[in-house]
């Protein structure tokens, strides 16, 4: 049987890479919420992914069927990202 939770390290690394792209100067997110320094992008992406993973993995819902748990993980990544970048800049 194929297990999709917890995600492999390769999958988690892909999420981190995508978050780095999302947080990089010049991205839509940085234009809307303000730029994060290039030096800070990787650390921020790793922190966001780790906190999202730890939150979902440690929750009582971490035994949910595959797609549901991945949706929870994705939603938590988005929540952590928005919490990290703060309110939109004006």
Query: What average pLDDT score do residues 13-21 get?
Result: 97
Which has the closest alpha carbon to 56: 19, 1, 4?
4
pTM exceeds 0.75:
yes
**Tell me, what's the pLDDT at 56?**
92
**Interacting residues of 7 by C-beta distance below 8 A, sequence separation 6+:** 15, 53, 70, 73
pLDDT in tens, 34-78: 888 888 999 999 999 999 999 998 875 556 677 888 899 999 999
The yes-or-no verdict on residue 20 having pLDDT over 90 is yes
């Amino acid at each position: 049987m194929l297990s999709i939770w917890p995600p492999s390290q390769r999958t988690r690394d892909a999420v981190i890479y995508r978050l780095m792209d999302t947080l990089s100067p010049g991205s839509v997110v940085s234009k809307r919420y303000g730029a994060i320094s290039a030096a800070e992008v990787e650390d921020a992406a790793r922190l966001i992914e780790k906190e999202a993973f730890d939150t979902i993995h440690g929750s009582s819902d971490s035994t949910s069927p595959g797609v549901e748990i991945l949706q929870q993980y994705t939603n938590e990544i988005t929540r952590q990202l928005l919490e990290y970048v703060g309110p939109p800049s004006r």
